[in-house]
Amino acid sequence: MINTVFFDVGGTILDESHEFAAWADWLGVPRHTFSAVFGAVIARGLDYQETFRVFRPDFDLAAELDRRVAAGRPETFGEEDLYPDARGCLSALKAQGLTVGLAGNQPAHAEASLRALDLPVDVIGTSHGWGVAKPAPAFFDRVVAEGGGDPSSILYVGDRPDNDARPALAAGLKACLIRRSPWGHILDLPAVAERCLFRIDSLDDLPGLVAEHNAASGQGQ
pLDDT of 5 reads 98
Determine the structural domain holding residue 63 and report its residue range. 17-70
Q: Answer whether residue 111 is part of any domain.
A: yes
102/168 same-domain check? yes
Total domains in the chain come to: 2
CA dist., res. 21 & res. 192, Å (int): 30
Radius of gyration of the chain (CA): 17
Question: Do residues 206 and 176 lie in contact, with contact meaning Cβ atoms separated by under 8 Å?
Answer: yes
Question: Do residues 159 and 181 lie in contact, with contact meaning Cβ atoms separated by under 8 Å?
Answer: yes
Question: Do residues 75 and 68 lie in contact, with contact meaning Cβ atoms separated by under 8 Å?
Answer: yes
26/126 same-domain check? no
47/99 same-domain check? no
Q: Answer whether residue 76 is part of any domain.
A: no
Helix (H/G/I), strand (E/B), else coil: 185: helix
CA dist., res. 87 & res. 159, Å (int): 17
Tens place of pLDDT per residue across the chain (221 aa): 999 999 999 999 999 999 999 999 999 999 999 999 999 999 998 988 999 999 999 999 889 988 998 999 888 889 999 999 999 999 999 999 999 999 999 887 888 899 999 999 999 999 999 999 999 999 999 999 999 999 999 999 999 999 999 999 999 999 999 999 899 889 889 999 999 999 999 999 999 999 999 999 876 55
Would you call 18 exposed, middle or buried from its count of C-beta atoms within 10 A (0-12, 13-18, 19+)? middle
30/87 same-domain check? no
**126-132 contact pairs (CB < 8 A, 24+):** 126/9, 130/103
Q: Answer whether residue 114 is part of any domain.
A: yes
